[in-house]
Amino acid sequence: MPIEKKVVIVESPAKARTISRILGAEYFVTASMGHIRDLPERTLGVDIKNGFIPIYQETKKKVVQQLKEASRDATSIYLASDPDREGEAIAWHILESLKKSTKAPFKRVVFHEITKSAVNNAFQHPAEINMNLVDSQQARRILDRLVGYKVSEILWSKIERGISAGRVQSVALRIVCEKEREVLAFIPQEYWNLMVNLEVDPSGSGKKYQARLYQIDGKKAVVATGDESSKALDSIRSGRDFKILNNEIKPKKRYAPPPFITSTLQQAAGPALRFSASHTMRIAQGLYEGVDLGTSGPAGLITYMRTDSFTIAKEAQEACRSYIASNIGAEYLPDAPNFYKNAGRAQEAHEAIRPTDVNRTPNDMEPFLNPDQLKLYTLIWKRFVASQMRPAEQKLTTVDTGVTGSDNRNFTFRTTATETVFSGFLKIYDFLDKDKDDKTDSTEEEEFMTTASLSELAKDQKIHLLDAKSEQKFTEPPPRFSESMLIKTLEANGIGRPSTYATIVNTIQQRKYVDKLKGKLIPTELGFKVNDFLVANLGDLFQIGFTAEMELKLDKIEEGEVQWQKMLEEFYKSFSAWVGEAKTIGAPEKEKADKILHIFDSVQAWKEPEKRGRRTYDDKKFVDSVKAQFEKNGGISEKQWSALIRLSDKYKEQIPGFEDIIAGLGVTIQEKPEAPLGADGQPIPPEDMGKYKEAIDLLSAVKTAEPGAGRGGRKFDDKKFILSIKSQLDGGRNLSPKQINAVKKLTTKYKEQLPSFADLSLKLSLDAPSAPAGGGTDAAPAANADEIRDLLTSLSTVTAWEQPVKKGFRTFNDKSFYESLDKQFAAKGNLSVKQVAALKKLAGRYIKSQN
């Protein structure tokens, strides 16, 4: 009887180790290292004409060969990839790659947690590959490829090479850009908060509380200016007796949150643990695939982390209830298990994210987990246990205190306090306040701590005023997105799915479309540029509603309700029309294109090809290639049109009637850009670039500083910049005014390493830096140096500085400000325009007052 060889294929080595320990020696467990086939990188890889058939290629040839070797003499092959679309697709690709190399039957095994019982149960009940899931994944992959490939091609021609668009990432970018424009357009409005400190018993019992102005004459209090605030305070301070108008006590229940699903885990881990979405998923993957628990061996600590279902297995629910009763207290256990309703299209067969064994507490797991693993496991464990506990019982007390002011206006002040009577689930889950990611300042009443027992205050009871004060505030702009809040918005709008949220958020940052500063997502200049182009020219494709509709269609493919090729066919009809229109933006009409191409027919003496850096520019070759394209497609692009217009001016001496032809085309030949300006404001002749080349040649040999962060979170790498400028100058191209300024700054920065610095500083006029491009300047002109020095000298004699003034969150300290400017000027020899203006104001105030 032949020996059985059972081969199990999973995605990762970590998962393989855990499963191998569970299954034992009779199974050979190996890893595919993720997908082994995908669409090609450099071509579309989709046969559109023949039913959108994907053209796959093996991406891991060595791994595939190893899998074939392992499977050749197998008696059974178990495909144990993850239980979702991607996992099903991986299993199918493995089957397709190996089926000709083995006679063994392929079996699909699915489990949502890597535990002995779950894995053994799956192997006892193997199934077939679910082709609906595979088709849904293929449709998503092809959709993403069509959009990414064809739209990115347009971005390359319209904006710059190397940038990309994505079916879902570009919608996420649109959402972030729209939010940023709301922030930029926001105009702060002044308002004032009025507070009173009150005493219950003026005899000095110590029972005091604080209240905020809530109403004036029965309407919501709005104090818009400092003048209104002063009048109200005067009226309140000289008003008649304060008394209790109302004291309302309401019981309130605070229910436990459901266990985590993918989106809520990412949303909670952001503010609570300061984890990015992608980091959260990496840590969760490790907890799911297995952690070495010492003598117990590796074990999966949580259920599958890509899920949108709140469902909990009955056994896990019962184990959790038993843990609560035994370890937390029977009074915390509800009479019946807590159940949570799933969203419309959630995968009911999946479970929520929970610990695989509730008895493995975070304290027990601490010796086996690294700090980040422990933090995330604790969050998941506490959330799961809390989800099966009683609600917290609280008492909300609202006290309104009134006074009739000296101007006969009735002022109502409100105090609220919440008292927890029974902690319920709050006894174990203490992350709720940290889950609230974006807190905004508002004019709503706040909760104040009070030393008085508010519930004892009786209606009409007289209250003594201790003091009244006001605080100037300004309305805040809408908060920018954090990663967790963007994921929440994507989920709420039906964009993306559990397996894609982290990738979407990560991609827009990797593409340099969005920066993350202090946890907030802010579009870059490139991000705005790309978004504005896409919204203006492919707005229908990147609408939130349309993207959500496509997600629903993918779900329907998964459920067997829609045929995947038919869905792609319907999509492509609209898509190809949108792309066709976008490609022709700015392109000339066919007749004009034909005329500009024929203008070169008379050119006989073409200039020799010119090499710049690694590229060779051949005018004749370029014109011939555009002609061939025009004859084939009947059109040319906007960039080709502009290039041909510029090129025609270069050869105008050989083109009869050139001026009339160009005028007839309705175009204007742009003047050649002026040469860069030197320190004296005069154009720098091309040959003068030699002195900058000399500086760069010397700078390329210095030991530069490590790359550091600059404004907007960008990394500045001196070495990389120096080498790029060197390449530009070596290729015969002049520097821009901004580049010239940068070369000067770097020469000064590294002067200690430049033996000929003294000579170089004279050549580059380093004592008088030139202005940045565009006419604007952030540095004060060198001519102002004496004036700045005089102002600073005069302020050095000031002996009586005003006390620091606090405005909002900022403190204004004249003395500290002067000292910082003096120190900067001594170090750099200049100040910014804004700093000079502020210095003049400061000197004007103090010099006059002390003369």
| Structure-model confidence comparison of residues 816 and 284, the more confident one | 284
Q: How far is CA 182 from the centre of its chain?
A: 17
| Structure-model confidence comparison of residues 382 and 699, the more confident one | 382
d(CA 689, CA 682): 14
Residue 385: domain span: 262-390
Q: How many CB atoms lie within 10 A of CB 505?
A: 27
Q: Which of 163, 513, 710, 478 is nearest to 505 (CA)?
A: 513
What is the DSSP-derived secondary structure letter of residue 368? G
Q: The domain that contains 449 carries what CATH number?
A: 2.70.20.10
Q: How many CB atoms lie within 10 A of CB 231?
A: 15
Q: Domain for residue 1, yes or no?
A: no
Neighbouring residues of 94: CB distance < 8 A, sequence distance ≥ 6: 9, 32, 36, 67, 79, 81
Q: E strand or H helix at 46, and its extent? A: strand 46-47
Show which of 711, 731, 763 is a domain's final residue.
763
d(CA 62, CA 678): 59
d(CA 373, CA 155): 41
Average confidence (pLDDT) over 146-171: 93
pLDDT for residue 447: 44
What is the DSSP-derived secondary structure letter of residue 204? T
**293 and 342: one domain?**
yes
Q: Label the pairing between strands 708-709 and 715-716.
A: antiparallel
Task: Give me 282's structure tokens.
Answer: 């990496």
Show which of 567, 583, 599 is a domain's final residue.
583
pLDDT for residue 349: 61
- Is it the case that residue 677 has pLDDT exceeding 70? no
Show which of 566, 583, 600 is a domain's final residue.
583
With cut-offs at 50, 70 and 90, classify the pLDDT of residue 436. Answer: low
Helices (H), ranges, 559-613 = 564-583, 590-598
Q: Domain for residue 379, yes or no?
A: yes
The percentage of the chain sitting over the pLDDT mark of 90, rounded to a whole number, equals: 64
Q: E strand or H helix at 776, and its extent? A: none
Q: What are phi and psi of 154, to 5 degrees?
A: -70, -40
**246 and 279: one domain?**
no
d(CA 521, CA 281): 19
What is the DSSP-derived secondary structure letter of residue 513? S
- Domain count across the chain: 7
Q: How many CB atoms lie within 10 A of CB 275?
A: 24
162-167, long-range: CB < 8 A, 24+ apart? 163/511, 163/526, 163/530, 164/511, 165/530, 165/534, 166/507, 167/143, 167/547, 167/550
With contact defined as beta carbons under 8 Å apart, do 648 and 596 qualify? yes
**547 and 606: one domain?**
no
Q: E strand or H helix at 76, and its extent? A: strand 76-79
| Structure-model confidence comparison of residues 14 and 816, the more confident one | 14
Q: The domain that contains 574 carries what CATH number?
A: 1.10.460.10
189-225 per-position pLDDT tens digit: 999 999 999 998 766 566 889 999 999 999 999 999 9
Q: E strand or H helix at 66, and its extent? A: helix 61-71
Q: The domain that contains 37 carries what CATH number?
A: 3.40.50.140
pLDDT for residue 30: 97
pLDDT for residue 38: 96
**380 and 448: one domain?**
no
Judge residue 63's burial from the number of C-beta atoms within 10 Å of its C-beta, 0-12 exposed, 13-18 middle, 19 or more buried: middle
- Is it the case that residue 778 has pLDDT exceeding 60? no
Residue 132 amino acid letter: N
With cut-offs at 50, 70 and 90, classify the pLDDT of residue 16. Answer: very high
pLDDT for residue 838: 80
Q: Domain for residue 344, yes or no?
A: yes
**346 and 427: one domain?**
no
With cut-offs at 50, 70 and 90, classify the pLDDT of residue 560. Answer: very high
Q: Domain for residue 680, yes or no?
A: no
**329 and 248: one domain?**
no
With contact defined as beta carbons under 8 Å apart, do 478 and 183 qualify? yes
- Is it the case that residue 230 has pLDDT exceeding 70? yes
C-alpha angle 437/172/168, rounded to 5°? 135
d(CA 501, CA 511): 16
Task: Give me 693's structure tokens.
Answer: 């080349």
Q: What are phi and psi of 637, to 5 degrees?
A: -85, 170
Q: The domain that contains 357 carries what CATH number?
A: 1.10.290.10
Q: How many CB atoms lie within 10 A of CB 251?
A: 9
Lowest mean pLDDT among 30-44, 301-315, 431-445, 782-796: 431-445
pLDDT for residue 848: 53
334-385 per-position pLDDT tens digit: 999 999 998 765 655 689 999 999 999 999 999 999 999 999 999 999 999 9
Q: Domain for residue 120, yes or no?
A: yes
pLDDT for residue 775: 36
- Is it the case that residue 162 has pLDDT exceeding 70? yes
Q: Domain for residue 676, yes or no?
A: no
Q: Label the pairing between strands 106-108 and 76-79.
A: parallel
d(CA 212, CA 232): 13
**279 and 369: one domain?**
yes
Judge residue 211's burial from the number of C-beta atoms within 10 Å of its C-beta, 0-12 exposed, 13-18 middle, 19 or more buried: buried
Task: Report how far apart, in Å, the C-alpha atoms of 569 and of each of 3, 46, 165, 576 are.
Answer: 49, 13, 21, 10
Task: Give me 316's structure tokens.
Answer: 């896990």
Average confidence (pLDDT) over 41-54: 95
83-120 per-position pLDDT tens digit: 999 999 999 999 999 999 999 999 999 999 999 999 99
With cut-offs at 50, 70 and 90, classify the pLDDT of residue 732. Answer: low
**579 and 546: one domain?**
yes
With contact defined as beta carbons under 8 Å apart, do 484 and 271 qualify? yes
- Is it the case that residue 764 has pLDDT exceeding 90? no
Q: Which of 474, 469, 443, 473 is nearest to 195 (CA)?
A: 469
**372 and 400: one domain?**
no
d(CA 582, CA 170): 16
Average confidence (pLDDT) over 817-821: 78
Q: Which of 27, 214, 288, 304 is catalytic?
A: 304
Q: Domain for residue 770, yes or no?
A: no
**315 and 235: one domain?**
no
- Is it the case that residue 443 has pLDDT exceeding 60? no
Average pLDDT, whole number, for the chain?
Answer: 87
With contact defined as beta carbons under 8 Å apart, do 638 and 157 qualify? yes
d(CA 168, CA 51): 23
**267 and 347: one domain?**
yes
Q: Which of 283, 299, 288 is nearest to 20 (CA)?
A: 299
240-278 per-position pLDDT tens digit: 889 999 999 999 999 999 999 999 999 999 999 999 999
Q: Domain for residue 677, yes or no?
A: no
With cut-offs at 50, 70 and 90, classify the pLDDT of residue 509. Answer: very high
pLDDT for residue 784: 55
What is the DSSP-derived secondary structure letter of residue 621? H
Judge residue 4's burial from the number of C-beta atoms within 10 Å of its C-beta, 0-12 exposed, 13-18 middle, 19 or more buried: exposed
Average confidence (pLDDT) over 517-536: 95
Task: Give me 821's structure tokens.
Answer: 């400017």
Lowest mean pLDDT among 429-433, 796-800, 825-829: 825-829
Average confidence (pLDDT) over 376-401: 97
818-822, long-range: CB < 8 A, 24+ apart? 818/792, 818/842, 821/792, 822/792, 822/795, 822/796
pLDDT for residue 336: 96
Average confidence (pLDDT) over 682-695: 68
Q: How many CB atoms lie within 10 A of CB 225?
A: 12
User: Looking up tokens 């009074």, which residue turns up?
Assistant: 331
pLDDT for residue 448: 46
With cut-offs at 50, 70 and 90, classify the pLDDT of residue 707. Answer: confident
| Structure-model confidence comparison of residues 610 and 56, the more confident one | 56
pLDDT for residue 687: 47
**796 and 821: one domain?**
yes
Neighbouring residues of 64: CB distance < 8 A, sequence distance ≥ 6: 36, 58, 97, 98
Residue 323 annotated to the active site: no
